[in-house]
A and B are shown apart, each in its own frame.
Chain A
Amino acid sequence: MRRIYAIARKEFIHIVRDPRTMIAVLIMPLLQLFLFSYAVSFDVKDLPTALLDQDHTAISRQYVDALKQSNYFVVKQNLTSASEIDGIFDRNQARVVVVIGPGFGDSVAAGRAGAVQILIDGSEPNSAQLGQAYANGLSQIWGAKTTIAQAEASGFNVAQAGGLTARTRIWYNPEGRSASYLVPGLIVLLITVMTVQQTANTLVSEKEQGTYEQLVVSPIRRIELMIGKVMPWAVMAALNVITVSAIGLLVFQIPFRGSVLLFALASFLFVLCVLGLGLVVSARASSTEVANQLAMMISFLPAFMLSGFVFPLANIPPVLQGLSYLFPARYMTVVSRTVFLKGGGWDVLWPQVAALAVYAVVIITLSSLLYRERS
């Protein structure tokens, strides 16, 4: 115990004394949180829209007013003929084109469905998908009088989007606010990157300094060294979970609907998993450079791409889907989102928590084996 304490105490001093580490640990997560939540907003608002009203009736103008009032569309230009539509997306003048065909007003007035065509620039799938859903919803609200003929541009496949059912309703995050689904995922990303990176470095830098050589000839056991070295990082990770969650709740007003206890337990298991990953890198890497690159590869990329943080896991290629099971971030992202947004409990989250527990046991065992082998 005394030896573990000596190591942990020393590690804390290293952390506190190195401004670079302090920034990486305390400032970077917050910076990223604000960056992702403000700058990289996936909210779709004020889509630049071009309008071609070939009907020119009171009814068509009503429809256009409803469109304008929705906040989602801003009519940037009024077109006079269909030939102007060509190239409008290429020049980035609009992302959406709304075409009201001749006879729209008459059809509606006669009690038949009027047809509106909506063209969406699919080169940015996220806004395209949302814009499509908004347009659809808007027309629904405006009345069953309208049917929409939708067309795609730039390779966006309407048939695959699947968001066009008659009654689209978004649960848990009704306003579709980015922060609400970003922050719970971001917690996972931040913890992964910081913890793997720092633990991966801890032993390698000691080898480069030559102090490792001194420690292996001391009576200290490998396992004691390992525990002492990761303890400060476990504490740092816990602090980060708390601060990022707190900022998410207070600043970004995201809800927390589930059980704190469940979230704490899952976080604890998850931190063990990423500490283990870092230790595996540390035991294998030959220099801090190698350690950093390896750490980046197994922390940032999977936690960003293979966790469901930005890309829904169901939509990525099967090979990558399989790969995603090898990284703990995917389990924790589900837990985090479910606890924050849906309030789901043990009954739904037990598979993820169990997966994290198994993962933690396996990776910690593996890393301690690697440590022992290193002699």
Chain B
Amino acid sequence: MPAADAANAIEVHGLRKTFGDFVAVNSIDFNVGHGEIFGFLGPNGSGKTTTIRMLCGVIAPTDGGARVMGYDVCAESERVRENIGYMSQKFSLFQDLTVDENLKFYAGVYGLSDEKFAERREYILTMADLHGRETEMTGDLSVGWKQRLALGCATIHEPRLIFLDEPTSGVDPMARRQFWELLHDLAASGVTLFVTTHYMDEATHCNRLAFIYRGDIIAEGTPNEVKGALMRDTILQVEVDDGEGALAALEGSPGIGEAYMQGALLHVNIGERTAAEADLPGLLGPLGFDVRSVEPVEPTLEDAFVHLVTSQKGAST
């Protein structure tokens, strides 16, 4: 039985992992409540996957510890693994096995009884919309189907906590939306989801977020709380003929916090000033740039993320 009476699905205290001199995860703390969709964000190489691997009991922490579904990840790693689901961006399906054979394989790995398997198989085929494709080769399925089948395999044993490591990378927007609907359904039934993602728009699906950067958690809270880090700053969206050139010109200019490309547009953090005070056309015009429009925008999670990372870099140098 999962120790469901544990106060939180995940409790992390002082979790640390070093590889030689390299600190991958630097003594982090956080909790994830039951039924939450918890977003774990950060650039590549920031320690996301290392953290997940420790929480799944695959690698041992250098220091500190964590309890997952009430079990200690070091001392009771096998119990941890029985009680979690895990899905990565690679989908972990056997391409040369049929849909049914994949399901049957994972049912065997988790030791499901025949009756239980029949019930779960039916549920997953419905959930993933794979009825009628049971005998198709997994390799021939579209990415969206593979993704849902992978989720089905990862949850065949009905875990109450699922780790999803960038489950939507490389998937088209439509399939991503459908996938998030499935995740919301799971969360509604009380399952806790621990999700890492690159997509900032996906982060808004989460109840709570943590930003990890170079092994440290640099922000934590609801999406609004995280954006609140920028509450007093103004973000300007600038349309200019030569975005890259303007970006280079703005970086290092006095009073400019961060500037970066957001699609074809520039996002510029001008701190606690108004658009008129910053006068970007007056700054860029004489340098030969044609500024077509400037308008203040509501800070997005991406703005917050860039701000956090930039200020972190500033602090460390």
Contact = CB atoms under 8 A, between A and B. Distances in A.
A9 B108 contact: yes
B200 to A, nearest CB: 25
A2 B111 contact: yes
Given A10-B97, A10-B101, A214-B86, A5 B92 contact: no
Contacts of A18: 96
Contacts of A209: 90, 92, 94-95
Interface in B96-130: 96-97, 101, 104-111
Given A10-B101, A217-B84, A218-B109, A211 B94 contact: yes
Given A10-B97, A214-B86, A3 B108 contact: yes
Contact of B109 (A13, A14, A210, A215): A215
A10 B86 CA distance: 20
Interface residues of A, number: 24
A221 B77 CA distance: 11
B59 interface: yes
Interface in B62-103: 78, 81-82, 84, 86, 88, 90-97, 101
Given A2-B111, A219-B82, A213 B95 contact: no
Interface in A1-47: 2-3, 5-7, 9-10, 13-14, 17-18
B56 interface: yes
Nearest to A1: B111
Given A10-B94, A13-B96, A219-B81, A214 B88 contact: yes
Contact of A220 (B86, B92, B109, B154): B109
Contact of A211 (B58, B93, B107): B93
Q: Which of A6, A18, A216, A219 has the most chain B CB atoms closer than 10 A to its own CB?
A: A219
Contacts of A17: 96-97
A211 B92 contact: yes
Nearest to B88: A213
A7 B111 CA distance: 12
A375 interface: yes
A209 B146 CA distance: 14
B92 A210 contact: yes
Interface string A350-375: 00000000000000000000000001
A219 B78 contact: yes
Contacts of A217: 56-58, 81, 84, 86, 163
A217 B92 CA distance: 11
Interface residues of B, number: 30
Contact of B105 (A10, A213, A221, A375): A10
B74 to A, nearest CB: 12
A31 to B, nearest CB: 25
A2 B101 CA distance: 15
B111 A3 contact: yes
A213 B110 CA distance: 15
A3 B92 CA distance: 17
Contacts of B108: 2-3, 5-7, 9
Nearest to B86: A217
A221 B111 CA distance: 13
B110 A13 contact: no
Contacts of B154: 214
Nearest to B82: A219
A218 B96 contact: no
Contacts of B90: 209-211, 213
Contacts of A375: 58-59
Nearest to A214: B92
Nearest to B84: A217
B58 A216 contact: yes
A213 B166 CA distance: 14
B149 to A, nearest CB: 13
A266 to B, nearest CB: 34
A224 to B, nearest CB: 9
A217 B82 CA distance: 9
A10 B106 CA distance: 10
Contacts of A7: 105, 108-109
A213 to B, nearest CB: 6
Nearest to A8: B108
A209 B138 CA distance: 13
B214 to A, nearest CB: 24
Contacts of B78: 219, 221
A353 B109 CA distance: 36
A279 to B, nearest CB: 20
Contacts of B94: 10, 14, 209, 211
Nearest to B52: A217
A215 B96 CA distance: 17
B97 A13 contact: yes
B216 to A, nearest CB: 25
Interface in B282-298: none
A9 B86 CA distance: 22
Given A6-B105, A6-B109, A14-B94, 17 more contacts: A2-B111, A3-B109, A6-B108, A7-B108, A9-B108, A10-B97, A10-B105, A18-B96, A213-B92, A214-B92, A214-B154, A217-B57, A217-B81, A218-B81, A218-B106, A219-B109, A375-B58
9 nearest A-B residue pairs (beta carbon): A6-B108, A210-B90, A214-B92, A217-B86, A217-B56, A219-B82, A219-B81, A10-B105, A211-B92
9 contacts: A3-B109, A209-B95, A211-B90, A213-B90, A213-B92, A214-B92, A219-B78, A219-B82, A375-B59
